[in-house]
Structure 1
């Protein structure tokens, strides 16, 4: 359900300064986590001062963060606040923040924007996926899972430097998925602009702090990564990608996906084989269906 805060932020988004966009992005993508925040903590996450957050809230008509929280509570219900009250004083703040971020991903999965992305991933002719820096692993995982449930999934070769899959192969009936978090690789923005300029649909998966993502891509999905650990945590992003694959399966149809998985499983068994019971390796089968055995060694 869209609430008053979300409507206000989206209605005025184009008029915001860069710093205000960063705060707005954080609020838009972390509605369920706002109950745990202060102006200072929001500023620390976004990279601005608490005073800047306060001035931004006043420009929206809120004299303090508690007034915005009340509007959110009216629109979102009690779930985030109940989580906070039930957590207990001994519960680690990072665990609460991470749990709230994953809960926010599940809320995001009910929105029209999410459904638009899932529909693209299910119906596009080809899906090109690229991840940058430490998010390359997320891109590999998404391409592997998505490749099991539908054909035409390609992991972009980011080492070659030409990004040929995006710059010369992708067409308007394909989709490009780019994954990165702050500090954002130059490749992310350049590839998004290049693909969008050629009419190729682009989906950016990132954190809530990227102030220009919505300027260069028609589809942006974000999840919180900053929970107070030394490194940013990708747990909410991983949950997001898993849910997307699950929705793609639903849109394609489970019977079709199961049929594809059966073919892939049979091919794997033919060429490699699966681990058998008791720790033994099941031998790969020959094209005729009989298990291949090694020839006896001559004595």
Structure 2
């Protein structure tokens, strides 16, 4: 991701004129709302001329304020939580309707993009694999944790990596050929993401990559790929499609091995009872 507006302002702040510093300070204090304002509004709120605002943006490498807006939209696409429309959430009952419509559209987009043959191939691989390794960093970690919990009720040999506070090296060294790795790859991915996939490929591991549409331009390789739109009505990403996909994968695997899956669920339930773990 290229150096964003806030970083450019901080790096050059001391070299700015006093009036340019007024604009820069206002932008840094209201960074998440910057795309909401026009150049004239920025000038008025900062107490400077519009020419000063234009001069500042040119100093920072932008030809126009529209280019700044496009830059902010790109940041949001890459996962930076920014408010790009102050009225996007709505108010009262309207906010619930807007939220519902966005969630519905994300789910529809995700399911419409899944190829049935690809999905069946994933389930068949999860059924026959000697081991399933679920990997997730950052926002992908809770999704990976939940997926592991669901899959381990259906079949044995499901591991989660990395363990809290640990790195991946020791987790990958004993991976066996034929293992299926499910890798969560959502935007603002950790450094080394491509190296991880390359390492899995070298270990003859089949890889299911679950991520957002930004994966399409990230040049990463995997055996299969399933995309989950994360857009919401405002700044923070929605992981509803991810959880829905996890539910679909777990249920499909259970039905692929229904006899063994039922027996395993019953065994786990018996362990709950003996340990008196659940009400």
Q: Counterparts in 2 of 1:20-169, with a 5 A limit?
A: 46=77, 92-109=97-114, 111-158=116-163, 159-166=165-172, 168-169=173-174
Runs of 4 or more off by more than 4 Å in structure 1?
43-47
The DSSP-based 3-state class of the residue aligned with 1:183 is coil
Q: 3-state SS of the aligned residue for 2:153? A: helix
2:259 & 2:140 partners in 1: Cα distance?
Answer: 32
Distance in 1 between the 2:250 and 2:153 partners?
10
1:176 to 178, 181, 197: 181
- 1:52-97 Cα offsets, whole Å, 9 max, x none, are xxxxxxxxxxxxxxxxxxxxxxxxxxxxxxxxxxxxx998444322
Instruction: Measure how far apart 1:243 and its partner are.
Output: 0.3
Q: Scaled by the length of structure 1, what TM-score is found?
A: 0.58
Alpha-carbon distance change, 214 to 266 in structure 1, aligned in 2, over 3 angstroms: farther
Inter-CA distance 92–165: structure 2 relative to 1 (3 Å threshold):
same
Relative to the length of structure 2, the TM-score reads: 0.62
SS of the residue corresponding to residue 152 of structure 2 reads helix
Structure 1 residues 116, 98: closer, same or farther in 2, change over 3 A?
A: same
SS at match of 2:198: helix
Measure how far apart 1:214 and its partner are.
6.0
Give 3-state SS (helix, strand or coil) of 1:186's partner: coil
1:268 aligns with 2:272: yes
What's the CA shift for 1:163?
3.6
Q: Which moved more, 1:236-245 or 1:113-122?
A: 113-122
Alignment partner of 1:258 is 2:279: no
SS in 1 for 2:209: strand
Report the Cα offset of residue 181 of structure 1: 1.0
**2:52 alignment partner in structure 1:** none
* 8 A Cα contact 2:133 2:181, kept in partner: yes
Aligned partners of 1:128 and 1:165 also within 8 Å: no
For residues 122 and 217 of structure 1, the distance between their equivalents in structure 2, rounded to whole angstroms, comes to: 19
Residue ranges of structure 2 left out of the alignment (5+ in a row): 1-69, 79-93
Cα 1:182–1:163 change in 2 (3 A) is same
- Listed as ranges, the gaps of 5+ residues in structure 1 are 1-39, 48-88, 276-299
Equivalent residue of 1:178, what SS?
strand
Q: 1:205 aligns with which of 180, 204, 210?
A: 210
